[in-house]
Structure 1
Amino acid sequence: MDRPRKDAGPGTVARADAPRPAPHELAPHEVVLIHGSDLDRGLDEHEARDRLERYGPNVLPRADTAGWPVRWLRQFHHPLIYILLASAAITLLLGDLVDSAVILAVLLVNAVVGFVQESRAEAALDELRAMARTRARVVRGGRVAEVPSEELVPGDLVLLEAGDKVPADLRLVRVAELCADESALTGESVPVAKDEVVLPQATPVTDRRNMVYSGTVITSGTATGIVVATGAETELGRIHRFVTEAEPLATPLTRKIARFSAILTAAILALSALTFAVGMVRGEPVKETFIAAVALAVAAIPEGLPAVVTITLAIGVSRMAARRAVIRRLPAVETLGSTTVICTDKTGTLTENRMTVRVIRTPDRTVTVTGAGYAPVGELVDEDGRRADLGEDAALRWSLLAGACCNDAAFLGDRASVAGDPTEAAMLVAADKAGLGHEHARARFPRIAEQPFRPERRYMATLHETPDRPGEWIVFVKGATERLVRMCAWEMMAGGECRPLDAGAALRSAEELAGQGLRVLATAMCRVPATAGPEESLDAALRAGTLVFTGMQAMLDPPRPGAVRAVRACRDAGISVKMITGDHATTAAAVARRIGILPGGDVLTGEDLARLTGPEFSAAVERAAVFARVSPEQKLRLVVALQERRHVVAMTGDGVNDAPALRRADIGIAMGRSGTEVAKDAADMVLTDDDFASIEAAAEEGRGVFDNLTKFIVWTLPTNAGQGLVILVAILFGLTLPMLPLQILWINMITAVTLGLTLAFEPKEPGIMRRPPRDPGRPLLTGALVVRILLVAGLMIAGALWLFEWELRRGAGLAEARTAAVNLFVMVELCYLFNCRSLTLPVWRVGLFSNRWSLAGVAAQILAQLALTYLPVMNRLFHTAPIGLDAWLRVLALAGAATLIVAVDKRLRGMHL
């Protein structure tokens, strides 16, 4: 509806406080009266300018967004980032400019990536606004003019023809054979026929055939419509508001890291404070106690975690791209591995998005058509399994000719797309598979007159010349079976003879095919003498009711070849698949049965959902497997309801109507080929082949990515905890610090790169898609992981303190003793790495060479430790000293013992963390 005027005068739009019926429930003259317009002259230029001032331009409003400085600073608003900033400040205070610069560089890279991704997400709204910008032909002051769509106002009279993009929401007042492609707005997979009839108030948007909406496209016919809504008041504007309001959620990974970071921050501050307090109580110097507290904080901070998370996700992006899934936002990689529900569109994702004739039924025969899509690959097979012979079946031949000649569709290029109705394209392909060749048939029977399809007629009829009978013309008709049986007196048999039509049998046959989810079009023909004019002859043949019924062609949009397997794989992996489509419930249910989605679930329509509230709605959404004829608001509501039931939701879509749900879902998945730019920009992932099977492949990769992130966390947390707690133990017992803060920072930064990062390249675990999804509420710090942390940290603490004190007692210097302790920590981390390479398998089952990066990392770490120990420049920088072979033997023995103990624990307590 249009926005209220600031004042109301004669002949203008009704007052804002006056109740006004919706345009679709009013007659054309009533809509014209309400909007103060004229069916012949439209608005005059003065009134149009006046309304443009009052209502504003016909554009979608720009959302109030934070400026780039605020968005840039927002990238640093995270507990873990605070810890790293503190770490950088601490290392700077300690005089280590290099390490401080490294930490700040990591923060800068993460911030740049986040800033760019957020900016690209905002572009979705800009693209949505751009969709409505076009030029429109309007009648103003009785003259036709072309104006920018931004200047349209309520009451404008707009002229439409095939190929036009609808510039605003229009109530149709004159219609001539109009069809509109509304798939981007409603999800309807075929063009919708339009007329100007009055509809009930409760008619949903998808069924308002007397309206056309901004952003949709006219595919055929002409019409005149009056503007009833512009800008934010259009259906496109409503979706714009949903996109604005549907803020993207944090992913499972980011939520868990946020919780983990908050716990880690509190733990580090508490332990540092405890260290400082104990030192003060024991009478230690303030400066030394402060250095010890700083050392503990530096030791406990996993500086490499953000970098490793980013790199691991980036590796997942590369792997998914190879499997036709392009990731736009890095956290989406991991989210796929956490997904518990996939809400998928039907057309183009589960199906080919190419209507295909599957069955042709004549009065005495049923023929199956093989092949799928628009390629003329396939054949017609009779009930005995033999190829149908058109020379032996006149009814089949004439049905195919009717489908090819009474047809306005045409293929573009190499049949990659079609101009016209997809159902008509399917009939062309059927003729080609039968060997008729639709182009040859059209050339053989030139069209000389036609009656295009109209909703009230429910058929299309054409008149053609005949090459073999110059004194006759042929009438071909196709349309709804129930309509054609009333126009036919005869039915044709295979031998060419005709008998009286059995209308009941024809209708029962059509109902049977429709019950299988097939769209049925009946065909008929007759010969007429070429005595009168073409138009008169065609009208007379159709009025006479003496057409010959030749059969029915039943078609469907076939499932993609890999969709059935992919749905089954998702079910085996514990991922529920739900179909959400704008198509009718019968069609959606039939496709769902073929693909394997429907068993065990209900089918709900948008009307069903509208009647449900609160717990009833939530329970119904959980139970249902197919949702048909749903609105954009309901799609969004479905996603929210599933998330409230603790599901991690992946949502697919390709149209403008999908954008709000894509943005709200835990992971939005857009179609790369058929998807609108709005959907792609609102999504986290884009499928380059529009295939549901690619979602299943990406989910498998996502699980592998999360596994590898978990492996790194399982590896890094115990080592960081060990380094921090060794400082605390030393303070508690009044011991000399076994490691300096700078040495601890060396361990953290070097091992994270050379050792921890190699876990990002681990191959996927066997059976990864046969285990249930992870519980979204499961924290990073599980009880088993806490036990592992304490075990490994305890082994490190005991080993380092014993070795440090042993070296001092045997006469080694303080620098040598600390060097031995540092090398022990590194060797334990190095050996522990192999225990972390699999979450489920023991070390010897993983395979030494299954991840060559780990071997390269181990070699690099050993060289780095030798340099730290024996190079004079490193000795000066890090206060280390060369150690002897006997010290190395003790280091290796302690590291081996620790590795053996961890392996035994892994075996006894189970390997899942």
Structure 2
Amino acid sequence: MSVHNFDIKGLTNEEVETSRRKHGSNTLTYRSENGFLDALKSLAKEPMVILLLVASSIYFISGNVGDGIFLAGAIVLVASISIYQDSRSRKALEKLKALTQPNCTVIREGEVIGIPSNQVVIGDSLMVEEGTVIPADGIIIHSNDFSVSESILTGESFSVFKDSEKDNNSIFSGTTVASGLAIATVTAVGNNTELGKIGKSLEAIQEEKTPLEKQIGNFVKKMSIWGVVAFLLVWGMNYYKSFDLLDSLLKALTIAMSILPEEIPVAFTTFMALGTWRLMKMGVLVKQIKTVETLGSATVICADKTGTLTQNKMSLAKLFVLQTGETTIPQNELGQAEKELITLAMWASEPIPFDPMEVALHSAYGQLIDGDERPNYHMVHEYPIGGKPPMMTHLFQNKNGHRVIAAKGAPEAFFEISNLTTLEKSQIEETIKSLGKEGYRLLGVGQAQFKGIEFPERQQEFKFDFKGIVAFYDPPKENIPKVLASFDKAGIDVKLVTGDNSETAIAIAKEINFVGYDRCMTGDELMRLNNVELREKVKTTQVYTRMFPDAKLRIINAIKANNEVVAMIGDGVNDGPALKASHFGIAMGKKGTEIAKQAASLILVDDDLSKLVDAIAIGRKIYTNLKKAIQYVISIHIPIILTVFIPLALGWLYPTIFSPSHVILLELIMGPTCSIIYENEPMEKNTMVQKPRPFTTTFFKFRELVTSIIQGLAITLGALLVYQYAVAEGLNESTTRTMVFIVLIAANIFLTLVNRSFYFSILTTLKYKNNLVPLIIGITIVIVALLLYIPAFTHFFEFEMLTPKLLLISVLSGFGAVIWYELVKWGKRLN
């Protein structure tokens, strides 16, 4: 049965355009955002920008126009970089928003077509089915077994049944279809929908920060507090000695600027935005940009079978007829009993099928049964899927009053409500086992007789005549064994969670080399366990069968209680709660319901599970590279801080070795290294053979902080030794400053190369493909050459042109201050 049987033509293309011009598009618009102005406002609150503004103003007030102009230019440069990074992030999010725009189904010019939800117009004939989010308000004109969850509008968690005959025949944007199918005429779109009218309140919702964001925010806040303390201390010390307010302020600002690690939040945003963009290109949509950072920490994946491990291409494979006791393959030459079984199974399906098995039954009926009776019958009553085991029943009647009552569901559902003998039940159980072992999905089919018009409240009150079993084959995806092997190699435990019976699930699991396919548990067995028993059971059980929403939710919560990081893959309505409860909900892009996509964190656009392996690899790579970047920032900030502070605090010969201009110059040269080079680093070859990192792991744990601190102190030592060497040789302040500056720049270059891996040697990492490494290092060397050999720059920054000997001493000091870590890495590889 198709939409043609309901005589619904829908709008023409011309009528669609007219409606859109008259009533607008189906988008919610409230707060008008100006990305550029918002970015400027955000910049004005940045501590580094504030410090630069203050320092620049002091230079201008004191008559040092050159330094004032340089710092003003630095503000423009810092602002430009920040706005550029912000723009990249916003563009990534805009693309993400466009790609995650839900689709919907409409009837136009007599044809059923899929369109993005924002293209729905008033007057459209909208078709909504189980699992979809309703995109616009409308009035129902046809429905079957149709119920809606309106909790987003009413707060009421129970589903509401609706049809065209009831007073309550309206559907509303943002609500979700709990069961069945309906066709409705759209009456309101965009801001004029019920959701649109109350949508202003959505603006007040604050986005929750991720654990890593909080860690970074806390770290930067602590460093800012230390910056303030150092600022006040240095200002007080210098003012006490000189009573020169402006000079004291400049020295204090220099130390404060050297302490602020402003690159860390910039690096975090950049890594997350570009990571999301890379995943989008691969066919993985991350609904929240910040989810990227924790992707690599998944330890357990719970995967649905149908559409995830299998192709979700149902074909009617076999028929078991109880009357004859025979199992046959559907073909052109069928007996009367087989034809009757297919016909009843079709009547037990939805009139407009959307489930793959029901589509297969309608297709088989059209191909194998002579004379299509579907246009002659209309549905007079229906019972939605329900019960344990589940089943559903439809009642059809033609104009002559002939009635068909057909039911389908789990074969076991008919045992207590049909007139089966003990021998017949035994025969059916044997058939279920034998067909299940071949990997078939099974549906029992029954027929009932009822003359009255007061139908029973429950479908189980009918007395059914069990007719037989229809068996479907859903072949596994070709790449699934390889994908499962990749998860196993990465230390990720995969569990199969399905609504199928145990025989079918085990057969498919065995076919795809699923680890632990013989360790199985049913939903009923699971629900009989208490929480403590279940926590132990989920450690060893790999296959879960005859699952229902509550059972799936308990599995997820039990795994989480074992301190595992769990990802749930699902595509159906009944997967929604488990998707939401898991650390990472993963939905299928093509065959997933809108409810599943709404509950999920990630969407696999092409329903290809191998993309999840790639996504986890990208997640691990991003985390590792971001950690390298942050460790680099900490390591390189320490020598800047101490090189500024120690000569000043200890009253060395040249106490003001660096001014704010020098510090910001160092920041501008070193800053791009972390956010550009490290983001573009390839994945290290051992990344996907390591165990997932614990979810609670932070960038700032003691061992890693110690590594960064020691590296920073080693560079400081190199810089200060060169400082003392220059003083001992009687070199002037400008030459000393230049030598210390070169030590820091050389150390920065070598640190960048050494810290590309904390395990593999620099000789290995030099072979990594990252075109930005030679580019950024080349640009750094050119900038330094300009500073040393262009008189105007040399004079402005109070540098000196170094002799080859002094230049070599400075470069070797920077090299020696960093290269020692290669010995540490060598020790790690020996172990």
TM-score by length of 1: 0.62
Say which SS state the counterpart of residue 749 (structure 2) adopts. Answer: helix
Q: Find out whether 1:100 has 2:75 as its counterpart.
A: yes
Stretch moving more, 564-573 or 766-775: 564-573
C-alpha distance in structure 2 between counterparts of 1:774 and 1:747, whole Å? 34
Stretch moving more, 733-742 or 800-809: 800-809
Instruction: Report the equivalent of 1:304.
Output: 263
Q: Find out whether 1:272 has 2:231 as its counterpart.
A: yes
Instruction: Report the equivalent of 1:698.
Output: 615
Alpha-carbon spacing, 1:875–1:685, altered in 2? closer, same or farther (3 Å): farther
Report if aligned partners of 2:644, 2:657 keep a CA contact under 8 Å in 1: yes
Q: Find out whether 1:719 has 2:636 as its counterpart.
A: yes
Instruction: Report the equivalent of 1:773.
Output: 692
Equivalent in 745, 753, 759 of residue 840 of structure 1: 759
Q: Find out whether 1:750 has 2:750 as its counterpart.
A: no
Alpha-carbon spacing, 1:241–1:646, altered in 2? closer, same or farther (3 Å): farther
Report if aligned partners of 1:603, 1:624 keep a CA contact under 8 Å in 2: no
C-alpha distance in structure 1 between counterparts of 2:615 and 2:33, whole Å? 33
C-alpha distance in structure 2 between counterparts of 1:631 and 1:854, whole Å? 52
Q: Which amino acid aligns with 2:79?
A: L
Report if aligned partners of 1:708, 1:760 keep a CA contact under 8 Å in 2: yes
Q: Which amino acid aligns with 2:442?
A: V
Instruction: Report the equivalent of 2:456.
Output: none
Instruction: Report the equivalent of 1:399.
Output: 338
Matching of residues 424-463 of structure 1 within 5 Å = 424-427=358-361, 441-442=368-369
Report if aligned partners of 1:570, 1:577 keep a CA contact under 8 Å in 2: yes
Q: Deviations over 1:177-205 (max 9, x none)?
A: 944488x999xxxxxxxxxxxxxxxx986
Deviation at 1:597, TM superposition (A): 8.3
Report if aligned partners of 1:408, 1:424 keep a CA contact under 8 Å in 2: no
C-alpha distance in structure 2 between counterparts of 1:360 and 1:180, whole Å? 30
TM-score by length of 2: 0.67
Q: Find out whether 1:673 has 2:632 as its counterpart.
A: no
C-alpha distance in structure 2 between counterparts of 1:734 and 1:561, whole Å? 72
Q: Deviations over 1:388-447 (max 9, x none)?
A: 9988xx66x9737953797479999xxxxx845532433467x6xxxxxx7553458888
C-alpha distance in structure 2 between counterparts of 1:725 and 1:710, whole Å? 23
Instruction: Report the equivalent of 1:216.
Output: 177
Say which SS state the counterpart of residue 760 (structure 1) adopts. Answer: coil
Alpha-carbon spacing, 1:295–1:652, altered in 2? closer, same or farther (3 Å): farther
Matching of residues 16-165 of structure 1 within 5 Å = 82-93=46-57, 94=59, 95=68, 96-108=71-83
C-alpha distance in structure 2 between counterparts of 1:605 and 1:208, whole Å? 32
Report if aligned partners of 2:630, 2:674 keep a CA contact under 8 Å in 1: no
Q: Deviations over 1:689-733 (max 9, x none)?
A: 133332232111111111111111122211111101111211221
Instruction: Report the equivalent of 2:12.
Output: none
C-alpha distance in structure 2 between counterparts of 1:72 and 1:251, whole Å? 26
Alpha-carbon spacing, 1:621–1:451, altered in 2? closer, same or farther (3 Å): same
Equivalent in 777, 781, 795 of residue 858 of structure 1: 777
Equivalent in 729, 738, 744 of residue 819 of structure 1: 738
Q: Find out whether 1:320 has 2:241 as its counterpart.
A: no
Alpha-carbon spacing, 1:302–1:745, altered in 2? closer, same or farther (3 Å): same
Report if aligned partners of 1:84, 1:303 keep a CA contact under 8 Å in 2: yes
Say which SS state the counterpart of residue 761 (structure 1) adopts. Answer: coil
Q: Deviations over 1:161-189 (max 9, x none)?
A: xx99899999x9xxx9944488x999xxx
Question: Which consecutive unaligned segments of at least 5 residues does structure 1 have?
Answer: 1-61, 133-147, 150-159, 187-202, 224-233, 368-379, 381-387, 413-417, 432-437, 464-474, 491-499, 526-544
Report if aligned partners of 1:303, 1:749 keep a CA contact under 8 Å in 2: no
Q: Deviations over 1:308-353 (max 9, x none)?
A: 3333334323432342113344322222123345566665445434
Instruction: Report the equivalent of 2:703.
Output: 784
Equivalent in 258, 266, 275 of residue 217 of structure 2: 258
Say which SS state the counterpart of residue 326 (structure 1) adopts. Answer: strand
Report if aligned partners of 2:441, 2:500 keep a CA contact under 8 Å in 1: no
C-alpha distance in structure 2 between counterparts of 1:166 and 1:883, whole Å? 70
C-alpha distance in structure 1 between counterparts of 2:210 and 2:581, whole Å? 11
C-alpha distance in structure 2 between counterparts of 1:307 and 1:657, whole Å? 40
Instruction: Report the equivalent of 1:883.
Output: 802
Q: Deviations over 1:653-692 (max 9, x none)?
A: 6678878987787655444324566765776543211333
Stretch moving more, 620-629 or 739-748: 620-629
Say which SS state the counterpart of residue 603 (structure 2) adopts. Answer: strand
Deviation at 1:805, TM superposition (A): 3.7
Matching of residues 223-622 of structure 1 within 5 Å = 249-279=208-238, 285-342=244-301, 348-357=307-316, 359-361=318-320, 399=338, 403=342, 407=346, 419=353, 421-427=355-361, 441-442=368-369, 503-512=424-433, 519-521=441-443, 552-555=469-472, 559-563=476-480, 565-567=482-484, 569-575=486-492, 608=527
Alpha-carbon spacing, 1:449–1:699, altered in 2? closer, same or farther (3 Å): same
Alpha-carbon spacing, 1:855–1:248, altered in 2? closer, same or farther (3 Å): same
Question: Which consecutive unaligned segments of at least 5 residues does structure 2 have?
Answer: 1-27, 60-67, 107-121, 124-128, 152-156, 185-193, 384-391, 399-403, 448-462
Report if aligned partners of 2:299, 2:491 keep a CA contact under 8 Å in 1: yes
Deviation at 1:884, TM superposition (A): 1.7
Q: Deviations over 1:848-869 (max 9, x none)?
A: 3532321222212111110121
Report if aligned partners of 2:227, 2:259 keep a CA contact under 8 Å in 1: yes
Deviation at 1:750, TM superposition (A): 1.7
Aligned length: 717
Report if aligned partners of 2:418, 2:464 keep a CA contact under 8 Å in 1: yes
Alpha-carbon spacing, 1:274–1:867, altered in 2? closer, same or farther (3 Å): same
Deviation at 1:117, TM superposition (A): 8.8
Alpha-carbon spacing, 1:877–1:664, altered in 2? closer, same or farther (3 Å): farther
Say which SS state the counterpart of residue 821 (structure 1) adopts. Answer: helix
Matching of residues 633-648 of structure 1 within 5 Å = none
Q: Which amino acid aligns with 1:327?
A: V
Deviation at 1:900, TM superposition (A): 2.8
C-alpha distance in structure 2 between counterparts of 1:723 and 1:410, whole Å? 73
Alpha-carbon spacing, 1:898–1:258, altered in 2? closer, same or farther (3 Å): same
Larger-Rg structure: 1
C-alpha distance in structure 2 between counterparts of 1:207 and 1:597, whole Å? 42
Report if aligned partners of 2:92, 2:277 keep a CA contact under 8 Å in 1: no
Instruction: Report the equivalent of 1:796.
Output: 715
Q: Which amino acid aligns with 1:762?
A: E
CA-based RMSD of the aligned residues comes to 6.3
Equivalent in 693, 705, 730 of residue 647 of structure 2: 730
Report if aligned partners of 2:339, 2:369 keep a CA contact under 8 Å in 1: no
Alpha-carbon spacing, 1:586–1:301, altered in 2? closer, same or farther (3 Å): same
C-alpha distance in structure 2 between counterparts of 1:770 and 1:747, whole Å? 38
Say which SS state the counterpart of residue 804 (structure 1) adopts. Answer: helix
Report if aligned partners of 1:339, 1:575 keep a CA contact under 8 Å in 2: yes
Stretch moving more, 783-792 or 507-516: 507-516
Stretch moving more, 832-841 or 501-510: 501-510
Say which SS state the counterpart of residue 302 (structure 1) adopts. Answer: coil
Instruction: Report the equivalent of 1:37.
Output: none
Q: Which amino acid aligns with 1:746?
A: L
